[in-house]
Chain A
């Protein structure tokens, strides 16, 4: 049995047939070819698959593709606008917030969502807000610095 699912991904309408058991992360990676979203675990622990659904961060391994029917999904490929990095992406670059880069897509999207909810977080709020995203390279120090810097940039732009 196949299921037809329509959703908006990075601003483009998608309409595909997939198996009903398909997870959103599998849909994005295997059907839509958006491999920037990563799979790092099988227990929804690592956050590498984090995407935005209607602007809010979601671990895309915890959601069936069918549950995204009719909704708007943003992946890391859709975050930069016209080639200009999102302030969170830019801050990760400037503060060396990534090393191997495998957790980065999820971390950046989780951070972007966090700053939507809390535009001026403290360091501790950033740390708690990113608790669901694991990084093995950076020790989080520069990630936290990057998110705090991005908050300042976004505040300046408002």
Chain B
């Protein structure tokens, strides 16, 4: 039989997307729909002293204008935060429209409903809001000092402090006995996810009966349905959520947003369909941001550079409110600040702090890029301190391949890994020694264009997540995934998955899994998803979980189908089950190949139910909800080569080599695509992207003119390699690849930048490493004492 898993299958999703047939939320034609527009706060922090909506309400085409106070009774609960990381975490009330006070520029203060987009937009201009300004709290360290408060009612800007210190005495002892201590402070700038499709919502009330259908540009239709029910006090079973074609998410659509809740409330109030589409500037201001941390990391090492302990203190920017999983993002990195190194003792503490800025939440990698950045930058600092190559310091500290499963100092069990193997492959692909020789030659001849070589080894915990582990972290939901595989009377297969793809190609990959397990042609398999009426149980797509949890559920549902079919075949062919083999989609009696039944024939027999074993239910279905026993731990080694012109400070990324190990690959074409895209997002944090605020709390980078999402001209082609270390956590041995590139690329590039600048005595540079920053650092280093 031709293997299916591991082959480069072209995507079945492509045709509709390439011809313009695919429908994103804003593409849906909804006759009679009213248009919703939000007026957003132009100030970072203020009491709302008055709002006059009368002129707006009188304008032609305007159906309704509401303030937060008008709509207060619509909400049974505030917007949800599902991750109260500590029992005493402070969580301010967060309403879909601000009621008394605004917390950031972009906070909603009023809503207009009108017959046309233009009328709604024009009416926004006629609303008059008077603000009574309050001090804006912007800087993280100032916020932590509580001089001014974001939420006066909380009495502090601290939301929580969360610690993971399994053995404090061991940490203290390691630092007391260290030959070398590295202490570094790194800044994780705020990032704006900037999915190419802005968010959108369409709500259709059914003409009778009270049910509503919600189309949203979301990664989490299932979670959204539950949360709409809770927030609005509406019976959950009356809500149907559909995520149609969704134009990228990267975590930014892993949320329950004001506009989703608001549009449902307005549609119910008015008894008419309503729609809202985000503008890009709104997307920058009112969709969550990512990162935003001050990281203090210390390593205690012996004379050879062997690390004995890692100690980390974070201050994490929550923004003005806690969105769905805001406080938990640092925790997703909390277990990984020792990286791929066998360090012994571990200490992690994070303080979550409110500021008058857009709320932060999950952005590609969510906590793990931050962790990887800190440890990988610090390992380079350690290498420099003891005078060894960055490769050598890593070799001395790696968890070795014979140590798996590895009990990590943070309390996880790393499932499998071979870090030395990935490093060997990356060094080979990059011709590392030749690069170092080139670098030395340039330095020797005083070349004004410096070469920098950067290296990063990463591990991530993904496949979110074992539900019991989530319970121990105070997360309010589980981490399972569901799948139904139905072999229909005609032998075609319908798969229902609880994952919610938005570019990842699940329809292609899930059909490959079914084709592999059931021996049917992949084109006979239809994959249904992202509609809560069709797929009632699901926990959606984020955290590189879809293949390792949702794909595994599909795999195991197929196993159930095969086992049921085996019983039917044994009954009908009067053979012992143990004598049946299932090969190429056919059950054969061992030794008597003429006695056989195809899976399609079994499906028809199961459908007619004319001759099934006593007590067996008709139809050939397999349903499963699978809760993973552990996370999966993908890893890899990336190498970046940069050139820095000391005359201009411009950093040019000239080569990028990525060796990733995501266990067994289902579709290498899709794996490669995920790495390419992830890498460029990570490079962008290192070199270009930053959410910049002025002193009054205005977001200065609220357009794609100012926020520098890279174009094709900014990046080189990416050189890929891979190793395969299967995961023992699931039967396909898969790990997940969606976030790997982003996790690895930022420290890889910044290590290269710092390496290039090391002849000037420069040991750190803040991200993004813009020409101005780099030029100023070089200029200052040349002027001052080395």
A binds B: yes
Query: Which residues of A pack against B, CB within 8 Å?
Result: 19, 29, 33-43, 45-46, 48, 75-77, 79-80, 85, 89, 92-94, 96, 98-105, 108, 123, 126-128, 130-144
Note all chain B residues with C-beta closer than 8 A to A79.
Answer: 19
Our pick among A75, A94, A134, A138 for the contact of B677 (Cβ within 8 Å) is A138
Our pick among A42, A75, A131 for the contact of B711 (Cβ within 8 Å) is A131
A40 touches B680 (CB 8 A): no
- Supply 19 A–B pairs (Cβ within 8 Å), ascending by A: A19-B118, A39-B26, A39-B198, A41-B703, A42-B280, A43-B280, A43-B704, A94-B10, A96-B669, A100-B195, A101-B18, A104-B18, A130-B712, A131-B713, A134-B704, A136-B681, A139-B680, A143-B712, A144-B712
Helix, strand, loop or mixed for chain A's interface? loop
A96 touches B11 (CB 8 A): yes
B337 at the interface (CB under 8 A from A): no
B705 at the interface (CB under 8 A from A): yes
A85 touches B13 (CB 8 A): no
How near does chain B come to A134, taking the closest CB pair, in angstroms? 5
Note all chain A residues with C-beta closer than 8 A to B16.
Answer: 101
Our pick among B19, B245, B672 for the contact of A76 (Cβ within 8 Å) is B19
How near does chain A come to B393, taking the closest CB pair, in angstroms? 29
CA distance A105 to B22 in the complex (A): 11
Note all chain A residues with C-beta closer than 8 A to B782.
Answer: none
- The closest CB in chain B to the CB of A126 belongs to B712
A100 touches B248 (CB 8 A): yes
Binds A, one of B166-174, B307-315, B502-510: B502-510
Take A35-B23, A35-B27, A42-B279 as given contacts and tell me if A132 and B711 are in contact as well, using a CB distance cutoff of 8 Å: yes
Note all chain B residues with C-beta closer than 8 A to A123.
Answer: 717
| Residues from 656 to 704 in B contacting A, C-beta threshold 8 Å | 669-670, 672-673, 676-681, 703-704
CA distance A105 to B14 in the complex (A): 12
Query: Which residues of B pack against A, CB within 8 Å?
Result: 10-11, 13-24, 26-27, 29, 118, 194-198, 245-248, 250, 279-281, 502-505, 669-670, 672-673, 676-681, 703-705, 709, 711-713, 715, 717-718, 741
- The closest CB in chain B to the CB of A22 belongs to B118
Note all chain A residues with C-beta closer than 8 A to B13.
Answer: 101
B681 touches A38 (CB 8 A): no
How near does chain B come to A26, taking the closest CB pair, in angstroms? 9
A136 touches B712 (CB 8 A): no
B18 touches A85 (CB 8 A): yes
Note all chain A residues with C-beta closer than 8 A to B118.
Answer: 19
B18 touches A35 (CB 8 A): no
Take A131-B711, A137-B248 as given contacts and tell me if A142 and B19 are in contact as well, using a CB distance cutoff of 8 Å: no
- The closest CB in chain A to the CB of B706 belongs to A43
Note all chain A residues with C-beta closer than 8 A to B29.
Answer: 33, 35
Note all chain A residues with C-beta closer than 8 A to B704.
Answer: 40-41, 43, 45-46, 134
Take A100-B248, A104-B17 as given contacts and tell me if A136 and B709 are in contact as well, using a CB distance cutoff of 8 Å: yes
Our pick among B19, B196, B502, B677 for the contact of A36 (Cβ within 8 Å) is B19
Note all chain B residues with C-beta closer than 8 A to A140.
Answer: 676, 680, 711-712, 715
Note all chain B residues with C-beta closer than 8 A to A127.
Answer: 711-713
13 new A-B contacts at CB < 8 Å, known A76-B20, A136-B196, A139-B715: A37-B20, A38-B247, A42-B280, A43-B280, A43-B705, A46-B704, A96-B10, A101-B17, A101-B503, A103-B196, A105-B20, A133-B712, A134-B709
CA distance A135 to B678 in the complex (A): 12
How near does chain B come to A11, taking the closest CB pair, in angstroms? 15
> Which 7 pairs, one residue from A and one from B, show the smallest C-beta to C-beta distance?
A36-B20, A101-B17, A102-B247, A100-B503, A139-B680, A45-B704, A35-B27
Take A40-B198, A136-B248 as given contacts and tell me if A141 and B718 are in contact as well, using a CB distance cutoff of 8 Å: yes
Take A41-B703, A43-B703 as given contacts and tell me if A144 and B717 are in contact as well, using a CB distance cutoff of 8 Å: yes
How near does chain A come to B135, taking the closest CB pair, in angstroms? 31
Note all chain B residues with C-beta closer than 8 A to A132.
Answer: 711
Our pick among B705, B713, B717 for the contact of A128 (Cβ within 8 Å) is B713
Note all chain A residues with C-beta closer than 8 A to B247.
Answer: 38, 100-103
Note all chain B residues with C-beta closer than 8 A to A144.
Answer: 712, 717
Note all chain B residues with C-beta closer than 8 A to A136.
Answer: 194-196, 248, 250, 677, 681, 709
